[in-house]
Amino acid sequence: MSRPRSIWKKVWCCWNAEPAGEVAVPSEAETEVSVPVGSDADIIIARQQGRALAEKAGFSGSDLTLVATAISEVARNIVEHARRGEVVLRMIHQGDKRGISIVARDEGPGIDDISLAMQDGYSSGKGLGLGLPGARRLVDEFELESSVGVGTTVRMKKWLNSHRSVAKYR
């Protein structure tokens, strides 16, 4: 996995006024960005990339926050449970609908009991157990596929001006 394909520029974190490092910003023509995830800094980069791409797709206000937060939740799961993975962000169109697709994948330990993992409050680690169920509530479409010993893939879609939610687990 390589760094995000994009134009690089310095970004400052507003909460501590220190450089966050190199962060890619999607160019005008870009509709897809791949972010390797292996650290807390990568979670921030994925979140910023997703927010920028969602804004480019036409999202604004609270919907930008929903997209960024959903990305943070699945990227955090990669760091905590698999150590390394990637988040692929893509602008999507389906008929008259526009939106953003988020695919988070890793080759970690996988999830033994998906229905249990999707319950609020359940955590196999030190977290609060809000990551996957929280991400599911923030997007319109959510699909989780996991195999023990192989890894996990989470596919999410958020549509512009949509408030319905569909979830699938395998």
Q: Could you tell me the CATH number of the domain that includes residue 96?
A: 3.30.565.10
Q: What DSSP state is assigned to residue 124?
A: S
Instruction: Give pTM, 2 decimals.
Output: 0.77
Q: Measured between alpha carbons, how far is 135 from 156 in angstroms, rounded to an integer?
A: 9
- Asked whether residue 43 is domain-assigned, the answer is yes
pLDDT at 35: 97
Beta carbons of 42 and 103 less than 8 angstroms apart: no
Confidence class of residue 165 from pLDDT cuts 50, 70 and 90? Answer: low
Domain that holds residue 14: 7-169
Q: Is the pLDDT of residue 49 over 50?
A: yes
What value does the mean pLDDT take over residues 146-157? Answer: 96
Least confident piece of the model among 44-58, 120-134, 139-153: 120-134
- Asked whether residue 1 is domain-assigned, the answer is no
Confidence class of residue 127 from pLDDT cuts 50, 70 and 90? Answer: very low
Q: Is the pLDDT of residue 1 over 50?
A: no
Across all residues in the chain, what is the average pLDDT? 81
Which residue, 32, 141, 128, is CA-closest to 154?
141
Q: How many structural domains is the chain composed of?
A: 1
pLDDT at 159: 96
Q: Measured between alpha carbons, how far is 69 from 47 in angstroms, rounded to an integer?
A: 7
- Asked whether residue 2 is domain-assigned, the answer is no
- Asked whether residue 165 is domain-assigned, the answer is yes
Q: Is the pLDDT of residue 57 over 60?
A: yes
